[in-house]
Structure formats: C-alpha cells, structure tokens
Structure 1
Amino acid sequence: MKRICMGLATAIAVATAVSSVPAAFAATPKDQLVIGTSLAQVLSVDPQQGTEEKTQQILANAYDRLVYNDDQDQNTIKPQLAESWEVGDKAITFHLRDAKFASGNPVTAGDVVFSLVRLMKLSQAASGYFKSAGYTADNIESKVRAVDERTFQIDLTDDVVPEDLLYRLAMGVSCIVDSAEVKKHVNADDYGNEWLRTHTAGSGPYKLRSWTPNGMVILEANEEYWGEKPAMRRIIMRHAPESQTARLMLEHGDIDIADAMTAPDIMSFVGKDGFTIEKTKIGGFYALAMNAGEEPLSNPLVRQAIAYGIDYDGIAKTILGPYGRPRNVPVPEDWKGAIANPDWSFQPEKAKELLAKAGYPDGFSLTIKTIAQPPRVDMATAIQATLDQIGIKVSINQGSGAEIVADHRARKFDLLLPQASAVMPNALGAMNDFVTNPDNSKEANNAGSMVWRSAWDIPEINALRDETSRERDDGKRVALIKEIQEKFIAESPAVLPMFERFSPVVMTGRIDGYKGNIWSLTRFEQITKKD
C-alpha cells in the first residue's frame, strides 16, 4: 500500500498556518492547557444529545455524573456527585454530596431525576444506552425518584444487572444538568435543547466560555466546583484537522497535547526528548457499516465477500499503527468471554467466489462515506483499493461530522466508516453497538442503534443480548456472551468490526497528570504543568 506524500503547495500552506499562529499561543501559559484536536464531530454540547468522542471530552469537564468509571483502576465504579450508594434487589439508592452548579444553584436529587427523564424524553441517539436496559420515555418517570433533596433512587429493570446500570450511569449521557437553569431556556417543549446545544449547565470543574464550530472551544474553571480547584484555569481546544499542522504546532510549543494526528506523525515522537505518548484502550472498534436494507448488501454472501476483501493486517501496519489492531469479533481479545477471531484475512480469490455464488460474478459499484479526518480517510482509501481487487468499485465520499452522521442515522449510505464504543468495560458492553436492534422497521426510527442504521434485522441475536443482560449468574452469562459472538459471525454482519480502537495522544514533557479514559471522558482537573 502506497502512502501519499504531502505536496509542496500543502507543505507551504502548513508552514504558513503554523507561522501565523497568534502570539498568545507561541508559548502556552502555565495555567492554560492547549489541545490540538479535531472538532469536526462536535455538533452539540447538550449532554443528553451529543455522543461523539470530542463532545464527550467537553462534557466530562463541564459536568459531573453520579459515579464514574476509573479505567486506571480495573474499571472500578467510584463516587462523583454521589458520595455513596446501596444496591438493593429492586433499586439502587444514591446519596449526593454537597455540591453546586456553575450557576450557584445547589445540586439536588431533583436535578438527577430531571436529567434522566430529559435523556429519555428527548429520545436522541444518546438515550439508546438506557433503552437497551429497559428504560423508555414512557416508563422513566416511574423508575426514578427524589427520596429527599440529597437522596436519589432508580429502579432496576428486568433487562439489566446492577453493575451494568452503574456503568451506564457513569457514561457521558448521564451527566447531571442544572434543572433550574435549563428550564429558563425551554423553547416549545424542547427540554432546553436549543440552548444546551451551545451552552453548559453543569457542576464539573470547568464551564463552557465559548465554542466556534470547527474553530475553538474554551473552557474556564468553575468557581463553584465542589472538588479541588484545578491547576489549569483555562482549557483551549483548537481545531487542528491537518495532522502535520498539529505535529508542527506541538513541536513549536504552540499546543500542549495533540490527539488527532495520523499514525506516522504520532510515531515520529517515539523516543523524542521532551514528548510522551499515551495510548488509552477504548474497548470499541473501527467498523464498516453496510446498508443491508438495499441490494446487493442485503445478501449475506456479499457481506461475507467484503469481509474477505479487506487487508486488515496491511491497514493496521501502514495506517492505524497506535490507533488499532485487527479484530473482527466485537469484543477485545483480552476481555473475559471473547472468542477467537474468524478467518477473515485478505483472501481475494475466496471473496470473488462468494460474489459469484451471490450472483455478482462481475462485481458492482458502491460508495463509502467517511468523516474527513484521520485515520478514517486513509482507511477508506485502503478499503477502496482492496475491494477493487475483488471486482467491487468503490467511490469515496468525504464529509463533515454533521453530514456523515446525519446520513448514517437516515440510512442514506452504501458503506460507511463509524466508530463503535463500549457501553460498559466488559464483553456485553463492547458488543452493544453490534448486536442491539429490537425493531428494524423504519417507523421505529431507532437512530441510536448502529445496527438499525444498517437496516440489519437480527431478532435472534438481539433476544440473546437481552437474555444476557438479565443473567446474574456469571458462568451462564459468559456462555451466553460466547454464543452471541458465534451467531454474530455466522450471520455475516452488516456492521463489521475491523479493528479494536485505541486512543493515542502526544504531549509535551511539561504535562503531568493526564489520564485517558475508555469513553473519552478525560478530566483535566488533575493536570499540572511544569515550567
């Protein structure tokens, strides 16, 4: 596979962009953290709406959840707004700490109720994680309650075990919003969504000062924060979609952290004095979504042929590097209950045989859609090249996060490159995005389900997922997890996991205390900066 070298004109543009950086960024202040990243997917900072990776990083710092998942400590659930909790047979009861929102309003159990009801009533993609656990817009108000100002209770459903509910409550979609502040901005029963798309109303260590789409996000320290005052009084996230630009900015000291560079640019910092590389295990996957609602992708043999028509090892070595490793089963290979990988290596002759058997000996043409950022653009180019070898002509359609995500949710694609995340840091959580589709009809409009977006009808697999989610016996649960994976492979999935994801970042040696997070909920309150 050939890599495309940067042309002279592009190189000059990069140099000009770096040299024209405002003087204020020439040497980052000790009390400001400057991050070079891609903001292309940040479409909304409403915590009950935005689920994209960089959105989660913003939400993690502007909001608190009841609890958080410490993936630095074996994925242990730890207190955040809840100081303690008790798990009963029918419900979990949380006792809240004394805390205030950035507005100065006290955090109450009523705010927790409001936030979870709001999540389900908005019924955005973010609510899918709770829908799969048995909570709905119709039943949520009967499942959550404020026992008193500082005591919150949520009923367990028959669809989820307590541990898995706690993990869901640790997710970004479970951020607690300031109900009094949000209610001031309700417009036509939108639950304050129009306002919260561009504002924050949380109790986290920071609050949103400004956000320019595809430009810059500025977070400022929240003076009302209940925890230890963060050393960084300001967090600046700068849109730096060009990897070489971000690399030069990092080398010149214009930014402290770069987290959206290509693998070669990241690897250029290996062993370089004054820089460190951190790689966080995500538990999710880079996937290939195929629209099974349309021919020829409705044919399982065609989907299987495509699975044999991708050079996973080549893409991993030349493109992904620290970003991922080949894996076609939607459970990380080192997690409990994971099965062995199928033999879906690049086998063009076998792929051609499958296409002929499916009735397409001469192949056909498709379009692959992808967000225009690394490493997915290079992945699309590589997939285009290898599928061409089996007779499938692929054109590439790049777009912004808003465009591609909208098309994905509307089933307007042939092939598409999404990222899947682990709902929970266990096998069932890793599989969730690949095996959840309770109703495949268009009328269901379950855009929160990646499987629904691919129009892949999997009633048997979904039923097994439901059964596993309810099973409290560990041995039986592991057996069911393995059965789901085996059936998933046998069905020639329309949402094909290709690579287990990792999240690499490069930072200057000045940064201390950075801890990545499995769900991109990286908090910056513990970060300090050396002189």
Structure 2
Amino acid sequence: MTYLITRSISGAALALLVSTAPIAKAETPANQLVIGTSLAQVLSVDPQQGTEPKTQEILAAVYDRLVYVDEKNQLKPQLAESWTVDQTGITFKLRDAKFSSGNPVTAKDVVFSLVRLLKLNQSASSYFKNSGFSADNIETLVKAVDQKTLRIELTKATTSEDLLYRLAMGISSVVDSVEVQKHFANNDYGNEWLRTNAAGSGPYVLRRWTPNETVILEANKDYWGSAPKMVRVIMRHVPESQTARLMLEKGDIDIANALTAPDVKSFVGNAKFAIDATKVGGFYVLAMNAAREPLSKPEVREALAYGIDYKNIAATILGPYGRPRNVPVPEDWAGAIANPDWSFQPEKAKALLAKAGYPNGFSLTLKTIAQPPRVDMATAIQANLAQIGVKVEIKQGNGADIVAQHRARDFDLLIPQSAAVMPNALGALNDFVTNPDNRAEAKNAGNFVWRSDWNITEINALRDKANAEADTAKRADMVKQLQEMFIAQKPAVLPMFERFEPIVRNVNVVGYSPNLWALNRLENVTKTAKK
C-alpha cells in the first residue's frame, strides 16, 4: 500500500511529497486528515484581516475566540468559560489556556486582539464598526479587569446577542499579544508577519502555508482541550474539480470541498462516501456598480433581475450549492418575506430597458473568481442577458485580483458571495443593508453595499435601529420593513441564490462538522477503520 505521507517525514520532504503524490493506490494515514480544496482566495492568515471561507477553516483550527457557534448555530464557550450579561455590557471569565508559544492566554490578549482589529482598520473591522465600535472608542469599551476577567461595554448600536455573535466570528480570534508585538513594523500591528504566520491557542499550529499549493497544520501539544485525534491536517490546493473527484475516489484525500455540482452528484448512492451540505445563511450575488451608467438607474437594475434564469441555473449548475432566492434572508428563516416576481421574463426586462432609455441594450463586463460554481454561473448569466440585449464580457481572475477590484469599485458587474453575521434574518440582511457612508473617501470597503457605490441612507438608518432594538417584536417588524425597502429600491447588490457549502467525505471520516462561517473545528475529527 502506498501512503500519501508518513509521520516520520521531515517538513520539507513532506511538502514535496504532498505536492507530487501519485493518484493511484493511495490511502491517507489513519491519524492524518487530508482535504482537497481551493486555496485561491487564501490571501492572508491574519485573523483580523482574512475573511474568505477557506481562510476561516485555517483560522478555526489555529485560533480560539471567546465564544463559538456550533453546527446547530448555538453560542458555546471557548476561551470564555462563562459570561454574564447585564444592561450595559458583558463580563467574561477566561479558562486556563496557553498559546502555542507557551505564553498564557490572558484578558489583555483579548483586549489587544479586539483593539488590533479596529486599529488595523482592514475590511474585516466593518463587522464591529457596524455595531458602534471604532478605533477611537474600542480602548474605552473593552477592558481587562484582571488576568482572567474581561469586560466589554455595549454601544448604543448593538445588543448583547449581536455582540456575542460577532465575537464568535473568525475576525475575533484571540492572538498572542506578546508574540505579535515582537513583529510590529511601521505601525502595522504585526500584520506583515501574521499574514503568513500564526500566534494562536487553537488545537493546531500552522506549520506551512504555500499559497495556491498546501497548508499543513500539526496538533498543538499545549492545547487546553482534549488532544486532537488527527496529528496532522493537510489542505491541498486542487482547483480542478475532476482531479479532486478522482483523488477522493482513489483515497488520496479524505474530503473534497470545492467540487462542481456534477462532481458532487457523482457520489450520490456511493456507500463509501457521504455528502454534507452546510446552510451558511449567505448568498451568491450579482453586484452592480451603481455609480456607472446605465446601472445607476433602478429600471435597469430591475431589468437585469428579470433577465436571469434563476431556476435553470440552479438546476443545471448550482445543484447542491444553492437555490433561487432574491430576498437576502433564507426563505425558511423566521421573518423572511416572500420572493418578488423576479423570474426569467425577457420581454418584461426589455420593456424596462426601453423605459430607461436603452431600447437597444448596452455592453458590460462581468468579473468573477475563476472557481466553481461562479465561472459557470457567469457564463449562464452572459447567455441570459444576451436575450434582453445586454452584451456581457466575462473577465475571470484569481481571488486576490477580483476581491481587490470589488473593494476598489473597479467593475460593472461582479459575482461575490455574502455571509450571515448571525443565524437569523437580521444577520443575513447585514451585508445588504449596511452602508453608513457611501463617499469614496470613506473607504468603507468592508461594507458589501459600499463596494457597489449604492447609497442607501434610509435603509441603513433602519438597519441601525433594528440592530440596537432589544424588543423582539419591534425588531421583527423592522426586519420585515428592511426586506421590503430593499426590494423596492431595485438593489445594486442582487441576491440570486441562497448559498450552501457541499462537501464530499469518505464515510470513515467522523466529526467533520462545517458551520455558519466555515469555522470548522477539527480536533474531534476521527477516522473509523475501513472495512
């Protein structure tokens, strides 16, 4: 039997073997987990910077947060053994834990991490800015009472529930302040170093990251919890779906989580594999640059909404990756309103274009990251819009390029994906109804709507009120109104499909449980004996 890796191999030899392992006659070791994935969007492993889903899985293994959200979307303690909520804030009691450096985890480390998030001022900080925290006030709102006690004051723009869910996000990972401060350079808060290194207390340590090739995680001997069952986790960059499917079938990898819908479906009925689909509360989105003609006109944006064959794209391309939905709240979540009539209606779309002054259509570019299912979605949208007179040129790129262009407002159309900040209607809406300052000089690239240059002053004001409302009934009414206002304004950030994250795993892999934000903890993953 040919093994992909063995425990005695050195780091350099291991990396070489991982990248050149033969496809035939392979089987991963019983104490190692190998994941075939796409690492194209892993641009930084700095937890206060990287927000992409595949980055989150790395962060979840390497770092801890005060609290986390389990696979049932329930808040659970992590570094915080307990917490007490009162009218003005939350007090946390920390457990005894060490960072992988051997330094103890203290309340000062938590303060440092949250202050760093706001001071670093990357797009990730928008999730706290939208709840009233800022670089100016964060040091007055977050305090270390003693070595194991932390106090966070609520702002007028948030509730305790809202804050707890944001503390469970990857951006709230607690970093080793002692270690990180050794690597400060030019007031970067250690960002240059943390982009490629780690300083966490999680069940694994980052041993190697080669962009677009390999991530190697090894069990943290100082982890405060139960020792990880897998001594090593390897994430292999396998962007070609057919290659990943073959590797999974032959035993080179244990899990594939970047397959196309047809390749996922090919495992249906195969008793050796299991298919899991995680509901993430997010959406595949058609982002339109509302500052550019003709997309600044609501009639044009609505015409595009009527010009997409959602049902056929879902059936032929997305499959387990999504289902049609134009309201940015999953249809089965409490408080979700009914979908508008934005089905594929070419004649209605043409009439709207004519009303807007474009009876002969126009030309646009559509940018997308070159990975499934977005490339195939882009091709289908191109064909659909051609039927209403809109000529679309598709431009593919890697994650770094497309994300940067999205944040720089450098696009006509673009296909990003959203995420829910809480497992409820308001959490799903967050990306679509938040834009406190649309000015270019505000540089609010962390806000999904800002990137589309879509000014939504009234919607944002109602979102702020809903986010700070503690009364459940009042908040529910506001959430309903937010959805109605969003649809009425013909959004420049058009949700097309509710997003799911399907994975295929060997049935002997147990305990791999993807969650809301791809923060998949790996310490409890085991492998049963193969029959």
Count of aligned pairs: 512
Asked if the contact 2:79–2:94 (Cα under 8 Å) also holds between the matched residues in 1, the reply is yes
Deviations 1:379-438 (A, max 9, x none): 000000000000000010000000000000000000000000001111111001001000
Match of 1:57 in 2: 57
Q: Tell whether the 8 Å contact from 2:508 to 2:528 is kept in structure 1 after alignment.
A: yes
1:420 is aligned, of 403, 418, 421, to 418
Whole-angstrom CA distance in 2 between matches of 1:22 and 1:207: 27
Judge conservation of contact 2:23–2:247 (CA < 8 Å) in 1: no
Q: Name the structure 1 match of 2:33.
A: 33
Please name the residue that 2:282 is paired with: 284
3-state SS, counterpart of residue 323 of structure 2: strand
In structure 1, what residue type is equivalent to 2:104?
Answer: P
SS in structure 1 opposite 2:293?
A: coil
1:70-123 CA-to-partner distances (Å, cap 9, x unmatched) read 232xx2211000000000111100000000000000000000000000000011
Written as runs of structure 1 = structure 2, the 5 A alignment for 1:162-181 is 162-181=160-179
- How far the C-alpha of 1:273 sits from its partner, in A, is 2.0
Q: Is the 8 A contact 2:37 2:239 kept in 1?
A: yes
Question: Counterpart amino acid of 1:140?
Answer: I
Question: In 2, Cα distance between the equivalents of 1:471 and 1:19?
Answer: 52
Which position in structure 1 is the counterpart of 2:149?
Answer: 151
Work out which of the residue numbers 331, 334, 343 in structure 1 matches 2:332.
334
Listed as ranges, the matches of 1:215-294 within 5 Å are 215-294=213-292
Tell me the distance in 2 between the aligned counterparts of 1:25 and 1:449: 48
| 1:170-220 alpha-carbon deviations (Å, 9 max, x no partner) | 000000000000000111110000000000100000010000111000011
Alignment of 1:286-325 (within 5 A): 286-325=284-323
Give how far 1:530 is off.
1.8
**Structure 2: runs of 5 or more not aligned:** 1-17
Cα distance, 1:20 vs structure 2: 5.9
C-alpha contact 1:286 1:499 (8 A) present in aligned 2: yes
Inter-partner Cα distance in structure 1 for 2:68 and 2:21:
37
Aligned mates of 1:146, 1:20 — CA distance in 2: 49
Distance 1:69 1:20, change over 3 A: closer
Q: 1:489 maps to what in 2? A: 487
- Which whole-Å deviations, capped at 9, do the CAs of 1:216-248 have from their partners, x for residues lacking one? 000111111000001101010000000000000
Q: Percent identity?
A: 71
Q: Which amino acid aligns with 1:319?
A: I
What is the match of residue 21 of structure 2?
21
SS of 2:246's partner is: helix
Match of 1:315, SS state, is helix
Q: 1:19 to 1:331 in 2, by over 3 A?
A: closer
What displacement does 1:510 show?
Answer: 1.5
> What is the aligned partner in structure 1 of residue 348 from structure 2?
350
Mapping of residues 207-222 of structure 1, within 5 Å? 207-222=205-220
SS at match of 1:180: helix
TM-score by length of 1: 0.95
1:506 and 1:31 map into 2 onto residues whose CA distance is 19
Q: Do the aligned residues in 2 keep the contact of 1:25 with 1:255 (CA within 8 Å)?
A: no
Q: Is the 8 A contact 2:215 2:235 kept in 1?
A: yes
CA distance in 2, matches of 1:329, 1:264: 27
Q: Is 1:193 matched with 2:191? A: yes
Amino acid at match of 1:62: V
Give 1:26 shift. Answer: 2.2
Secondary structure of the structure 1 residue equivalent to 2:352: helix
Q: Distance in 2 between matches of 1:484 and 1:25?
A: 55
Paired amino acid for 2:283: F
Moved over 6 A (4+): none
1:89 and 2:87 are equivalent in the alignment:
yes
Report how far residue 509 of structure 1 moved. 1.6
**Residue in 2 aligned with 1:136?**
134
1:428-443 to 2 correspondences below 5 Å: 428-443=426-441
> Which of residues 113, 116, 127 is equivalent to 1:115?
113
Where does 1:71-90 land on structure 2 (aligned, <5 Å)?
71-72=71-72, 75-90=73-88
Structure 1 residue aligned with 2:498: 500
Tell me the equivalent position of 2:477.
Answer: 479
